Amino acid sequence: MTDRVQGVLRLGKHAFPPERPLVMGIVNRTPDSFYRPGLTWDESAAMERVAEIVSDGADIVDVGGVPAAPGAEVDTAEEIRRTAGFIAALRDRYPDVVISVDTWRHEAARAACEAGADLINDSWGGFDEDLADVAAEFSAALVCAHAGQQSPRTRPFRVWYPDVLADVLARTLRLADLAVRAGVDPARIIIDPAHDFGKNTWHSLEITRRLAEMTATGWPVLVSLSNKDFVGESLDLPPLERLPGTLAATAISAWHGARIFRVHQVRESRQVVDMVAAIKGDRPPARAVRGLA
C-alpha cells in the first residue's frame, strides 16, 4: 500500500526530511506513571528532566498529564492544570524545541496549543473527534493512533483481530483522512500503531515485525515502544529492566522506516536510531578515520 511518498514532516517551525529520525522524550506530569512514577511530578524536576533529554538528543518533548493505565480520575481541568502552564514555561525556556502534548481531549489540546505546543499526540485513536479541528486551528501536527475498540485508560481483554496490522492500517489511515478533511496540513499528520494499546503481546510483536507495511503508506510513523509490556512479557522482565529489549525493538522499527521514537531513555535511543540511519546510508558516520589516516 503506497498511497504517498515519504516527504518532509513539519513540526512547529521545523521541517524534517524523511531520512532524519526523531527522538521524542517523555515528560509525565503525573504522580502515578507506570515507569518511575512521580519522577517528573514536581515542576522543577520536570524542567530538569527536559534539560537532560534535550542534552541527550531529544528532538521533541512530549508532555502528558494523565497516565495511560486505569487509576485515579484526572478530569479535564486537572489535566490542563498539569500541562498547559508547564508547556508555556517550556516554550519560553526552549523556543526551538518541538513540544508535544499527550492527550485525547480537545480542551486540553487547545490549552496546550495556546501555551505553545506544536504537536497533539493522541494515543487513544480519535476518541475525541474534535482533536483534528484543534490541530487545524493552530496549525499543529497530529498523531493518529490505533487503539482498537478501547476507551481511554482501559486495558485490553481477550482482544482479537483477523489481521491486526490490517486493522491498524484501516483505523489510522481513516483518522489521517479525517484530519486532512478537517484542515490539518498533510505534512503535519503522523500515524502510530500504538503498541500495547488495545493489543496483547502477540499483536505488538507482529506489528513490529510488519512495520514496513505501515511505513509504506507514506505517512510518517511514530512508535512508542519504551519499556512497554510487550517487551516485558517477551523477556519476563519488570519495567526498570526492559531497556535492552526496548532498544532491540527500536532498531527493528528504525530499519523498517519509523520516523519518530517516543522514549524514556533518550541517550541510548538516540544512539540506536542514529546507528541504524548510518547503516542504511541515511547518515554519515560522526567520525570516520579508520583506514584513512
Residue 2 lies in a domain: no
pLDDT at 25 over 60: yes
- Tell me the backbone φ, ψ of residue 174, rounded to 5 degrees: -65, -45
pLDDT at 36 over 80: no
Distance CA 141, CA 186 (A): 9
pLDDT at 34 over 60: no
pLDDT (average), residues 266-288: 97
Residue 116 and residue 135 in contact, taking contact as beta carbons nearer than 8 Å: no
pTM: 0.95
Residue 175 lies in a domain: yes
Residue 254 lies in a domain: yes
What is the pLDDT, as a whole number, of residue 1?
44
Residue 286 lies in a domain: no
Cell 484526572 locates to 74
Residue 132 lies in a domain: yes
Residue 140 and residue 113 in contact, taking contact as beta carbons nearer than 8 Å: yes
Sign of the four-CA dihedral 285, 290, 292, 293: positive
Q: What is the domain extent for residue 231? A: 9-280
Residue 3 lies in a domain: no
Q: How far is CA 24 from CA 58, 197, 225, 293, in A?
A: 6, 18, 11, 37
Total structural domains within the chain: 1
What is the pLDDT, as a whole number, of residue 262?
98
DSSP 151: P
Task: Residue 172: give its domain's CATH number.
Answer: 3.20.20.20
Strands 141-145 and 189-192 come out as: parallel
Residue 142 lies in a domain: yes
Q: Could you report the per-residue pLDDT of 37-53, keeping only the tens digit for each?
A: 657 778 889 999 999 99
Catalytic residues: 228, 262
